Structure 1
């Protein structure tokens, strides 16, 4: 059995966890989920969901990971609850499912970096997306993105993931801040900030049933919950680390990056279109690429440079999340079977590449993959994890969360109460609404 790795530094763990959370969910989906759900009204509910549901849930995954000190699948058996191994297995499968089509979108991002630098999409942004988003070119770039992801994971926790995310996460923040400052200088951005930052509570009251489940699901997706990633990353932690402090930092930093992405995208769209365009607001797979690309196209030469920087940010964010998803299954195989890390990482990457060719060949498949993950797999996985931590492992979970935390008794008691009550209810309602939505409108109309 190979000796298990650990994080070299606490900062490495925090940045890796933030890197897992800060991904396409924040930059690809968040601005357009905001646009179709009332702007600041959605942002307001999302912030509440991230704090009140996302933080307790992520701490639950941290507890399982550090207590077991092993991968997400075997964690529950080591905690002497083998029947609950289904939670870790579902998280692993959910992460792999997401990565299979996530990699396709990562390939699009690579293409758009070059398309921005050369101005290739400036003449027809919609036509350009249609030509590169599906078919052989999309499959080839899907392979490139998956290979880069596997290469980083193959180097291991300290030499691969930790070093990569220490570079990636600060780079994402610096470049997004720069783009947000640029967006602030544009004429007409004032209306965007009002739409994005001033909640319309009347709209929220009239649309609570649609806004809330979208916001909670967005919190799950953007925080990498229900995928086994946070259990796996926490399994490399020592007992002297404060889980509440680390979890709070991860949630705050991830949420800040999501808000930053909105401060870039929403003003650009308002300046160009006077609002979030209908096509983008629909939340389709190409929303970010078509609408934002059109903004850069209309800026001429300056748009080439800005577009290249923007899509470079998106690529870094996508990679930081992708490596966490591949690490879950890699950790499981290396822990249990002693296979080499490089062979395992590239072997699973190859299998996921094959599965993802469906999404690369036809974007209708990608939409179906995403809808199933977002509406069913993620909330189901989170729900089972919350039930386990709150109602099966409660006393031991409280003991674990107090480690490394001064005076943590009051916090631990309040945290367990939240997991057992409103967090559980919120996740269940989100799952119920997601299942009923899929049943009412099957998401494969183009096939």
Structure 2
């Protein structure tokens, strides 16, 4: 085995981690989840979930990854807790599973960039989505997206992932910011800002049972938690970096981009009288594509939006592929390009069924949101909070001026409040999953 790679710069790590977090979850899922769960009422629960559950959980992944300097599976054995490797296996399987259907959606994005330039969906956005979202064409663009992802990961940590995210992340922010500024000029957009930024307490209270699992699941998805990504990226870190500062930077930047996406989407929808949350998993493609068709310079605006979506999708996809690639890179003598290609092919094959029907893709997504991610995060929190406590506290303080009492406070939060919130989310998610399974069975029959 060759010598293990590291990040070339600390900024490179932060941008790569932000890129992992700033994915389709921000620009594709976030506006849909917000629209489907009461607008600003969802935002309130989501922000609480990000900072009270997501941030402590991210630090838990960081302390494991940096101290072990290994992939998520081998990290637990390296720390002297071989029996806990199942936690790393669960995270790695989650990354494998998510990328399988995530790549299908990434293929849609490529198709829509082309469609924007040509104005192909202007005559009927719903019919266009139905034509390109399932079938042989969807499989072909799924393969193309996966091939691009493999190509980036094959070049390694510094040469591939770090170099590409240094370009992608600033581009996402700049392009999305430009669209948000343009959205302020739309007639009727003010109602969109009110819906998005003014929470309705009655909506929050009456729908908390459905809002909570959606918000926490969104927090996990958008922060790349429970997938092994943050363990993997932290394993390439230097020993003197401040994990709390890096983690806070990543969480704030990711949340900013997610909120920025909403400032683009909701003014557009309300200016054209389109109901938020309509369109399901295809909302960004049906609803927004239809909106671009009605706006001046719609081809240009559509192309810019879907380019942002593609950059976001790729920045997350490479982190998911790196999770599974890192395990074999740490344990075999095969070259990184060969490993990335083989694993990319396997992930592509797993995702093919989801390219033949939106109901199947929705089931893939529900498995990730409601089962894999909360279960993976919960088991990891139990390990850090109750098994690896002393070493976790020491690792968190390394490279910082954080007092021992501050680190212990984080540990207390990780072993009590955060797992409780995740457990409630998991139970509610399983209930949702049971309903979704019934709906999928009906759709197949």
Classify the TM-score, shorter chain.
over 0.9
Matches within 5 A, 1:40-439: 40-273=40-273, 275-276=275-276, 279-280=278-279, 284-300=280-296, 302-439=297-434
**SS where residue 96 of structure 1 aligns?**
helix
Taking the aligned partners of 1:267 and 1:185, their CA distance within structure 2 comes to 9
Taking the aligned partners of 2:403 and 2:340, their CA distance within structure 1 comes to 38
Deviation at 1:273, TM superposition (A): 1.7
Taking the aligned partners of 1:229 and 1:318, their CA distance within structure 2 comes to 15
Deviation at 1:274, TM superposition (A): 5.0
Deviations 1:270-290 (A, max 9, x none): 11125416x33xxx2211100
Taking the aligned partners of 2:161 and 2:215, their CA distance within structure 1 comes to 29
Aligned 8 A contact 2:143 2:348 in 1: yes
Taking the aligned partners of 1:173 and 1:408, their CA distance within structure 2 comes to 34
Taking the aligned partners of 1:214 and 1:440, their CA distance within structure 2 comes to 15
Taking the aligned partners of 1:145 and 1:20, their CA distance within structure 2 comes to 16
Taking the aligned partners of 2:435 and 2:306, their CA distance within structure 1 comes to 35
Aligned 8 A contact 2:22 2:257 in 1: yes
Aligned 8 A contact 2:99 2:320 in 1: yes
Q: How many residues align?
A: 442
**SS where residue 272 of structure 2 aligns?**
helix
Taking the aligned partners of 2:21 and 2:75, their CA distance within structure 1 comes to 21
Taking the aligned partners of 2:353 and 2:341, their CA distance within structure 1 comes to 20
**SS where residue 433 of structure 1 aligns?**
helix
Deviations 1:130-161 (A, max 9, x none): 00001111010000000000000000000000
Deviation at 1:331, TM superposition (A): 0.8
| Higher mean C-alpha displacement, 265-274 vs 398-407 | 265-274
Deviation at 1:200, TM superposition (A): 1.2
**SS where residue 428 of structure 2 aligns?**
helix
Taking the aligned partners of 1:407 and 1:52, their CA distance within structure 2 comes to 19
Taking the aligned partners of 2:25 and 2:295, their CA distance within structure 1 comes to 26
Where do 5+ consecutive residues of structure 1 fail to align? none
Taking the aligned partners of 1:271 and 1:194, their CA distance within structure 2 comes to 12
Where do 5+ consecutive residues of structure 2 fail to align? none
Deviations 1:362-413 (A, max 9, x none): 2221111111111101100000001001011111100000001113323211
Deviation at 1:105, TM superposition (A): 0.3
Deviations 1:84-106 (A, max 9, x none): 10011110011010000100000
RMSD: 1.0
Aligned to 1:446: 443
Deviation at 1:203, TM superposition (A): 1.6
Taking the aligned partners of 2:54 and 2:32, their CA distance within structure 1 comes to 20
Taking the aligned partners of 1:172 and 1:5, their CA distance within structure 2 comes to 27
Deviation at 1:209, TM superposition (A): 1.6
Aligned 8 A contact 1:192 1:275 in 2: no
Taking the aligned partners of 1:44 and 1:437, their CA distance within structure 2 comes to 21
Taking the aligned partners of 2:207 and 2:147, their CA distance within structure 1 comes to 43
Aligned to 1:39: 39
TM-score under structure 2 length normalisation: 0.98
Deviations 1:211-243 (A, max 9, x none): 112111110000000001000000001111000
Taking the aligned partners of 2:10 and 2:37, their CA distance within structure 1 comes to 37
Taking the aligned partners of 2:421 and 2:112, their CA distance within structure 1 comes to 38
- Judging changes above 3 Å, is the alpha-carbon distance between structure 1 residues 291 and 76 closer, same or farther for their aligned structure 2 residues? same
Deviations 1:159-203 (A, max 9, x none): 000000000000000000000001011111111111111111222
Taking the aligned partners of 2:198 and 2:177, their CA distance within structure 1 comes to 21
Taking the aligned partners of 1:264 and 1:78, their CA distance within structure 2 comes to 45
| Large movers: runs of 4+ above 6 Å | none
Deviations 1:401-447 (A, max 9, x none): 00011133232111101101110100011111111222244151322
Aligned 8 A contact 1:23 1:319 in 2: yes
Aligned to 1:20: 20
TM-score under structure 1 length normalisation: 0.97
Deviations 1:235-257 (A, max 9, x none): 00111100000000111111100
